[in-house]
Structure 1
Amino acid sequence: MGFLKTYSSMFWLLAGIICGSIAGLIFGERVTVIKPVGDIFLNLLFTAIIPLVFFAISSAIASIDAGRKLGRILGVMSLVFLSTILISGFLTIVAVWIFPVHQSVTLSHDVNLEQPGNWGEQLVRLLTVNEFYELLSRKNMLPFIIFSGLVGFAAMRTGEAGAAFRRFLQSGNEVMKDILTLIMKLGPVGLGAYFAYQVGTVGPQLFGTYAHSLGIYYGFGTFYFIVGFSAYAFIAGGFGGVKTFWKYNIVPTLTAVGTGSSIATIPANLEAVGKMGVPAEIGNVVVPLGATLHKDGSSISSIIKMAVVFAMFGKGFDSTSVIVMALGVTVIASIVEGGIPNGGYIGELLVMSIYGFPVEALPPLMIIGTLVDPLATILNATGDNVAAMLTTRFLRGRAPAAA
């Protein structure tokens, strides 16, 4: 019963999608009459996402202890987080090249992903805007994320003078998370209506594209969980590190499955890393921050979602510029998603914003994100444990001493 309660929202979404699929198959293009229901749901998401991103990012950064004693730990930890996210993202790209997403479903060929101007102009447009109000558009998500990070950093640096503002950011974050939770209660109906429209207009071959992408995710995700994490544990402590990691990682893995949350897995992770030999001063920093900032599972899903949407819109996912941008988006999305219910949808909106995909791209992104959630949670949560081992290795110059 606890498992059903934890994943009840996912099951309701799946129920809505299944009902929508059946309606699309039965009524065909006549089902377009309910498309406005899906549009209303998506517009509510688009409206809420900007303030949610601002409060989530700025409050997370503002709450970091700026003490000098943490500087070295935070520096090494950040490098470990960034490295594993990029490794998981790049290996997923390789997996997508080996098992490409079939382009049997093409929603549109009219999406132009090329940005005009030279490289410098593209970089300026990607990272900044020249008017404050332009930050409030979902089409400028990356500049807005950068601005939110600067606000959080400034709030952290102001010390006591900024205490009231930090409390405002934290309070605003809680309110916006609840707003998103309320909106997502409409998800089964909204996504069901949109999926009915897509199945009714595109046809049942849509299912093959989703099945193929899920097969890639669960196949590669399982490989990364077993082989990738074992490799990281070996770097941290040799064969003894591998044995120790898997010995004490069982409880956090089961906790992640049962709770469906990286945040809720923090207590189990803290106990586990202590038994793995990670000092308390390192584990107490890496594990809580990792639950928010370190998401290998989200990195893998971000790449697969991008590959699927590129295929659905008849675009190639193989050029150097696209791959470099995809890795950058993966890093940002993995960081932004942390600690937010249904936070993966923020990463999906970021994909749409940077690549210029239309609103029709969001339902496929959301559906895939929903279906991969159990394994993604395991990778996100337990990846913090092996990251703590790596951080200990690089800080101390020796393997963690297991209990």
Structure 2
Amino acid sequence: MWQTIKQIPFWQKVVAGFILGATVGVIFGEQATVLKPLGDLFISAIKMLVAPLIFCAIVVSITALGNDVSLKRLSFKTLAMFMFTGTIASIIGLTVGSMIDMGGTMELATSEVRERHVPGFAQVLLDMIPVNPFASLAEGKVLQIIVFAALVGIAINKVGEKAQALKNTIEAGAEVMFQLTRMVLQLTPIGVFGLMAWVVGEYGLSTLLPLGKFIGAIYIAALIHIIFVYGGLIKFAAKLSPVQFFRKAMPAQLVAFTTASSFGTLPASTRCTESMGVSKKYGAFVLPMGATMNMDGCGGIYPAIAAIFIAQIYGIPLEMSDYLLIAVTATVASVGTAGVPGSAMVMLSVTLGVVGLPLEGIAFIAAIDRVIDMIRTSTNVTGDMMTAVVVGKSEGQVDVDQFYTNDEPLKPAANT
């Protein structure tokens, strides 16, 4: 029996928890609210992860660049492209999310008290610098943790051999946090069950209706980003044909959409970039780096729209400073945590925490995460291939004649 349950795909367990929780809420009504502590336990466990996970992951990401000058130049150039497209993805997500009324007339109550003090732009910048890094870690001040972690990573690289022990310790800490994250995320079906039983029991089935608009908003934003941002960079930065790029990228996009795994798509994306004329040496560098750090779908579009959706259903107004914090946090933190299992959920909890939105809202979208993850992954993988072509061409790593050859695209079935 237990072995059979273990063999069920994780996303199916989450969907089952969602359905069972909603069913219990419908049948038992307000009595189902006694199950809310199960959801609260899950939310508390997610909160527990954020500070140490962000710190270790970002330090490891910075130190991975090393001190090799040529590799460092190529790394920073690639990373700059990831950051640029991630920022644009956040802006697109915020724009699309703001234009669509995903929450409708529904307005839930939250036990969290959200202070509406809106600091000025200068104060936002000052608040990013931790006066006491240990206090920032203890209080979960994400932006301060990100800045401190980045500075620690840079300092470790500058110190060199003498800091190797600290580097090894933080890398080991990152691995421990990744494993702890895997363990905590196994609680997702139980947490979703408890929260959905509480929500439906308290507010009724009408709470589930806005999910269709939320999914639609994610897909619209992702397609805009893929077609116009990635296509535009191929056209104007690399001065190549976007049509040819998308034709050759299609097999990897299909694999990404069906598997919802950036790492699982690496064989397909590698062969696709080779068919575009990207050198094997650079492709072998940028694609794994992209699968680990480039998350426009997970770290840009998704948390931006999800934060707006959760704000709408809880009736919490967002100020311009909130939108700025969402964009900055989603872009910067995603680069450091993209390789973490379940990074989308971790990133969402980080983004919600920064702008003071209730984490209970995660339960609404956890069950449909698989549907969203398909387009998120397709966006991420397309961004990896675009970066390989655009940055590769600027470094003389792309054979333009090969890019324009009309060989048949590789079949996705051969790469799964």
CA shift for structure 1 position 310: 1.6
Over the residues paired in the alignment, what is the CA RMSD in angstroms? Answer: 2.9
TM-score normalised over the length of structure 2: 0.85
Q: C-alpha distance in 2, partners of 1:357/1:250?
A: 37
Q: C-alpha distance in 1, partners of 2:7/2:329?
A: 29
Task: Name the residue aligned to 2:222.
Answer: 221
Q: C-alpha distance in 1, partners of 2:273/2:285?
A: 12
Provide closer, same or farther for how the CA distance between residues 174 and 261 of structure 1 changes in structure 2, counting only shifts above 3 A: farther
Amino acid at match of 1:344: A
Q: C-alpha distance in 2, partners of 1:181/1:311?
A: 30
Q: C-alpha distance in 1, partners of 2:249/2:7?
A: 21
Task: Name the residue aligned to 2:411.
Answer: none
Q: C-alpha distance in 1, partners of 2:72/2:119?
A: 40
Provide closer, same or farther for how the CA distance between residues 138 and 104 of structure 1 changes in structure 2, counting only shifts above 3 A: farther
CA shift for structure 1 position 365: 5.7
TM-score normalised over the length of structure 1: 0.87
2:50/2:350 contact within 8 Å kept: no
Q: C-alpha distance in 2, partners of 1:151/1:120?
A: 24
Task: Name the residue aligned to 1:297.
Answer: 297
Size of the aligned set, in residue pairs, is: 396
CA shift for structure 1 position 200: 1.2
The answer on 1:86 being equivalent to 2:103 is no
Task: Name the residue aligned to 2:265.
Answer: 265
CA shift for structure 1 position 86: 2.2
1:296/1:383 contact within 8 Å kept: yes
| Residue range with higher mean Cα deviation, 104-113 or 24-33 | 104-113
The answer on 1:199 being equivalent to 2:228 is no
Q: C-alpha distance in 1, partners of 2:85/2:279?
A: 21
Q: C-alpha distance in 2, partners of 1:6/1:100?
A: 39
Q: List gaps (5 residues or longer) in structure 2.
A: 1-5, 404-416
SS at match of 1:205: helix
Task: Name the residue aligned to 1:166.
Answer: 167
Q: C-alpha distance in 2, partners of 1:111/1:394?
A: 50
Q: C-alpha distance in 2, partners of 1:365/1:48?
A: 20
| Residue range with higher mean Cα deviation, 223-232 or 319-328 | 223-232
Q: List gaps (5 residues or longer) in structure 1.
A: none
Q: C-alpha distance in 2, partners of 1:220/1:190?
A: 28
Q: C-alpha distance in 2, partners of 1:44/1:55?
A: 18
1:244/1:402 contact within 8 Å kept: no
Amino acid at match of 1:347: M
Q: C-alpha distance in 1, partners of 2:323/2:137?
A: 27
2:63/2:153 contact within 8 Å kept: yes
1:301/1:369 contact within 8 Å kept: no
Q: C-alpha distance in 2, partners of 1:332/1:366?
A: 23
1:278/1:401 contact within 8 Å kept: no
CA shift for structure 1 position 400: 4.0
Provide closer, same or farther for how the CA distance between residues 399 and 323 of structure 1 changes in structure 2, counting only shifts above 3 A: farther
Provide closer, same or farther for how the CA distance between residues 83 and 130 of structure 1 changes in structure 2, counting only shifts above 3 A: closer
Q: Deviations over 1:315-360 (max 9, x none)?
A: 335x533333332122124323311110112222222221122343
SS at match of 1:190: helix
Provide closer, same or farther for how the CA distance between residues 79 and 59 of structure 1 changes in structure 2, counting only shifts above 3 A: closer
CA shift for structure 1 position 120: 3.5
